[in-house]
Amino acid sequence: MWIENETRRANRNLLLVNGVMGALLVLIIAANFRYCANFVRGCEPISATELAGLKSPDQRWRNFVTVSGEKSVKTDYNVIEETTRNGQVTSREVKAEYVFLRTGNKILLVKASPGAEKFEYSGELVPTTPQLQSDVVQPLREQDPDLGAMVLPFTLNAADFRENGYWGLAMIVPLLLLALWNAMKAVRRSSEVQSAPTWKMLSAFGSAEQLSQEIEADQMGGGVRKYGNLQIGAQWMVRRRTFSTWVSPVADLVWVYKKVTKHSVNFIPTGKTYSVILVGRHRQRTEEQMKENAVNELLADLANRVPWAIFGFNQNLSQTWQKNPQSLIATVDSRYQQYKNQTAAAAAPTS
């Protein structure tokens, strides 16, 4: 059956796309599992002795730690955010500052939020960047070699170490839930074809099963024309989308118009795109973008098939359709009756 095939195609695409998206998100989480686990579990205290024994932050799986020290000294090295306007700096804000924290017989470089000096910091142990080595650690070694030798070969990021985790919660978790929801929706629609959007759309015109047979015969018959992704048979219009299928009887059309969209970059025109808007009496609507020649051919074809429909756009028509669509439908029905009467009169034998 046509509608079952369309539903199966849409469900397969929905399951495939969301399955791939879910798998990619899981891979991203897996690749950052250590950070994710530490983010969830939080910081745990670490002794000065254990800290001194580390050669690299990667030696410790739980690298979100709380470090206590006996003395802290601010360096002159800060992270500054500048705001500019028209190439001129209008403001500066210190986002983070670097502190030397004495813990046991070692010194730990700490990236801290601006504020008073503290003797306890919580954050993530990370490698000390070459920039910090040259700008912060090396000057200390040159000034006091003994103190410089006490500096640990890693940094405690106590300023923005949770930032990536919050971004992950804001982006990855909703996407993962969306992928799971869509996958479950595809499975449900596979077992309950009546819940699929195409089935519901087709039911607005009558018995979905009976109409499905008509559409199949109409699409397989000769004379089907294709405009972009829109296929028009003798009685039915079909537009396949990735996750659904738009379908409508040709005779159901109420309003048809051409849409021209102008594009520009920095107020310089870069071209136009063309599309056709199709609106039916059951509120079904689709917009099909195609080349201008195809748009004009489609409008001419539809004008020949449904001459009683309203063609063209103006603001009054748009407002009428939004506020009182039945009046527009009544106008089209009246035009259809006039068309039938004129056709009958033309076909009547003359005495």
The per-residue pLDDT for range 314-346, each reduced to its tens digit, is: 999 999 999 999 999 999 999 999 988 888 877
pLDDT beyond 90 at 64: yes
Strand order of the β-sheet with 71-85 is: 44-45, 64-68, 120-127, 151-157, 106-112, 88-103, 71-85
pLDDT beyond 90 at 87: no
Per-residue confidence (pLDDT) for residue 166, from 0 to 100: 94
Report the C-alpha gap between 125 and 64 in whole angstroms: 6
Report the C-alpha gap between 115 and 211 in whole angstroms: 72
pLDDT beyond 60 at 227: yes
Per-residue confidence (pLDDT) for residue 249, from 0 to 100: 94
Reference 303, options 253, 342, 229, 243; nearest CA is 253
pLDDT beyond 70 at 129: yes
Stretch 79-84: mean pLDDT: 85
pLDDT beyond 80 at 237: yes
Q: Which amino acid is at 263?
A: H
Under 8 Å between Cβ of 235 and 251? yes
Stretch 241-245: mean pLDDT: 90
Per-residue confidence (pLDDT) for residue 265, from 0 to 100: 87
CATH topology assigned to domain 222-346: PH-domain like (2.30.29)
User: Residues of the chain with pLDDT > 70: what percent?
Assistant: 99
Structure-block tokens of residue 39: 């983010």
The pTM (predicted TM-score) of the whole model is 0.74
163-217: pLDDT as tens digits: 999 999 999 999 999 999 999 999 998 888 888 888 999 999 999 999 999 999 9
Strand pairing partners for 311?
256
User: Residues of the chain with pLDDT > 90: what percent?
Assistant: 76
Q: Tokens 């912060």 appear where?
A: 136
**Residue 263 in 3-state DSSP?**
strand
Residue 24, class by beta-carbon neighbours within 10 Å (0-12 exposed, 13-18 middle, 19+ buried)? middle
Stretch 43-57: mean pLDDT: 95
pLDDT beyond 60 at 351: no
Report the C-alpha gap between 166 and 173 in whole angstroms: 10
Segment among 6-15, 43-52, 262-271, 272-281 with least mean pLDDT: 262-271
Report the C-alpha gap between 219 and 232 in whole angstroms: 8
Length reported for the chain: 351
Report the C-alpha gap between 139 and 133 in whole angstroms: 9
Supply the mean pLDDT for the chain: 92
Per-residue confidence (pLDDT) for residue 350, from 0 to 100: 60
262-302: pLDDT as tens digits: 998 888 888 999 999 999 999 999 999 999 999 999 999 99
Report the C-alpha gap between 296 and 228 in whole angstroms: 12
Report the C-alpha gap between 78 and 97 in whole angstroms: 4
pLDDT beyond 60 at 228: yes
Report the C-alpha gap between 230 and 344 in whole angstroms: 32
274-284: pLDDT as tens digits: 999 999 999 99
Name residues whose C-beta falls within 8 Å of residue 102's C-beta, 6 or more positions apart in sequence.
69, 70, 71, 72
Per-residue confidence (pLDDT) for residue 344, from 0 to 100: 83
